[in-house]
Amino acid sequence: MTAATSEMALSEQEFKLYQALFAQKLGIHLPDQKITLVGTRLWKRLRACGISSYTSYFQLINQPEQEAELCRALELITTNETYFFREPRHFDYLREHVLPALKLQDCVRIWSAACSSGEELYSIAMVLADLRSGRWELLGSDINQSMIEKARRAIYVDQRTDQIPADYRRRFCRRGIGPHEGSLRIDSDLRSRVRLRRIELHYTLPDIGMFDVVFLRNVMIYFDNETRKQVVQRIVEHLNPGGHLFVGHSESLRGISPRLKQLLPAIYRVEAG
């Protein structure tokens, strides 16, 4: 072990403190094998704060007036990876089966829970704007406030926008100019039609109404079984009978709720309760 790596090593005792903190604040259970990963991710932040031990940093982020620093620490632990039209079969299913079955006079409501920096949210928005002549509402939420701000800005570098179909890119995106050259921004009309707010999925949900579709993708990997069950059950309560729930392809909901009927891998429909 080099001097640098031994300096940043997190002891088992310190890891236990952080394990309990992240379980409480994020609803995630970090297995013991994640000790190095947690140490590596926190170390840079300790350095930036001028703090030399994980215990001192733990004490700092537990002070009530250090809420912002606590959020920084939580953000370092979660993964925000996302991209436009990720798992494209979901968008095909939305386009070909879900939207055509909804009455034109009804307002369609969709929620992208754990939307990260907004790529999933705006992929859904483009499909809605393309296919739905009637009213629709789209909510995006995440636990991470800086991701919500990114989603609100809706500026994405070109290399990360390849999956947007050319027709959608032409209709719903604006090319950046000047300092924004090399990126694109989601059109203001589309941006004004989405709502963004911070929601912690592992706690009781705020009053957000009922939805026809919820995207809950690639977030449950963090939760232990009990948390996953509670999160899904609370979300099912916010889905209209016949509504659809999309989860990540590596996430299974087997045995979680008797009201969920699997239609295809990672696509579920809610039966009347």
Ligand X SMILES: C[S@@+](CC[C@H](N)C(=O)[O-])C[C@H]1O[C@@H](n2cnc3c(N)ncnc32)[C@H](O)[C@@H]1O
Active site residues: 41, 142
Q: Which lies closer to ligand X via its Cβ, residue 86 or residue 244?
A: 86
Q: Is residue 183 involved in binding ligand X (CB under 6 A)?
A: no
How many residues touch ligand X under the rule CB under 6 A: the total is 24
Per CB under 6 A, the list member of 19, 123, 144, 257 interacting with ligand X is: 144
Distances (CA, A) of 264 to 108, 225, 251, 273: 22, 22, 13, 21
DSSP-assigned letter for residue 266: T
Considering the complex, what minimum distance in angstroms separates the CB of residue 266 from ligand X? 11
Using the rule CB under 6 A, give the single segment among 97-105, 127-135, 142-150, 172-180 that binds ligand X. Answer: 142-150
Q: Is residue 80 involved in binding ligand X (CB under 6 A)?
A: yes
Amino acid (1-letter code) at residue 28: I
The tokens for 40 are: 């590596």
Q: Is residue 123 involved in binding ligand X (CB under 6 A)?
A: no
Considering the complex, what minimum distance in angstroms separates the CB of residue 122 from ligand X? 12
Q: Is residue 251 involved in binding ligand X (CB under 6 A)?
A: no
Contact 198, 97 (CB under 8 A): no
Considering the complex, what minimum distance in angstroms separates the CB of residue 117 from ligand X? 7
Query: What residues from 221 to 250 belong to the interface with ligand X (CB under 6 A)?
Result: 222, 248
Helix (DSSP H) and strand (DSSP E) numbers for the chain: 12, 10
Torsional sign, CA 264, 265, 268, 271:
positive
Q: E-assigned strands of the chain?
A: 108-113, 136-142, 155-157, 173-175, 183-186, 194-198, 211-216, 239-247, 260-264, 267-270
Per CB under 6 A, the list member of 202, 228, 238, 244 interacting with ligand X is: 202
Considering the complex, what minimum distance in angstroms separates the CB of residue 62 from ligand X? 19
d(CA 143, CA 116) in angstroms, rounded, equals 8
Per CB under 6 A, the list member of 147, 154, 190, 232 interacting with ligand X is: 147
Per CB under 6 A, the list member of 43, 46, 120, 129 interacting with ligand X is: 120
Q: Is residue 12 involved in binding ligand X (CB under 6 A)?
A: no
Considering the complex, what minimum distance in angstroms separates the CB of residue 143 from ligand X? 3
DSSP string, 169-191: HHHHEEE--GGGTTEEEE-HHHH
Query: What residues from 34 to 73 belong to the interface with ligand X (CB under 6 A)?
Result: none
d(CA 99, CA 70) in angstroms, rounded, equals 40
d(CA 157, CA 184) in angstroms, rounded, equals 6
Per CB under 6 A, the list member of 35, 46, 82, 154 interacting with ligand X is: 82
- Summarize as ranges the residues that interact with ligand X (CB under 6 A): 26-27, 78-82, 86, 114-116, 120, 142-144, 147, 200-202, 217-219, 222, 248
